[in-house]
Structure 1
């Protein structure tokens, strides 16, 4: 299930939207997100977020991200993959 969460987070999403897409309760999803954050695979997205690595202006996902025009911290939160999470998803897709 954590792998599915990572794949879904290739596009930044709110916990409510992600829980609905995955068909899980929000509390369960939030526990999974916390686990992924501790491992360095996912984190909160907002302008100048260390998870994002670049400002919204330079982000390739800015047109898809609900956090692009928000101030940190925002409500509701938006989660996305970190660089490590992106590497994991790409490696898994290649069969690695």
Structure 2
């Protein structure tokens, strides 16, 4: 698992999933390997994206690495991509 390798190298990992139970499972599995935080959000929803960005800014500060495993290739920066396009690619 990529997250485990990052944790073992001192990276603070943030796991994001639509399903809270998946976040909780990831915390249990990954916490022994380093600093991990989980946040439940559905990135197809504008409100959830805003909450996630606020959480990251308030609690984490900044990102050094972003690994998108949402299964979409939009061809635009997240903040520039229209909400309708995100819904279509989810």
Query: TM-score scaled to structure 2, two decimals?
Result: 0.29
Larger strand share, 1 or 2: 2
Which has the bigger relative contact order, CA under 8 A and spacing at least 6?
1
What TM-score does the superposition give when structure 1 sets the normalisation length?
0.28
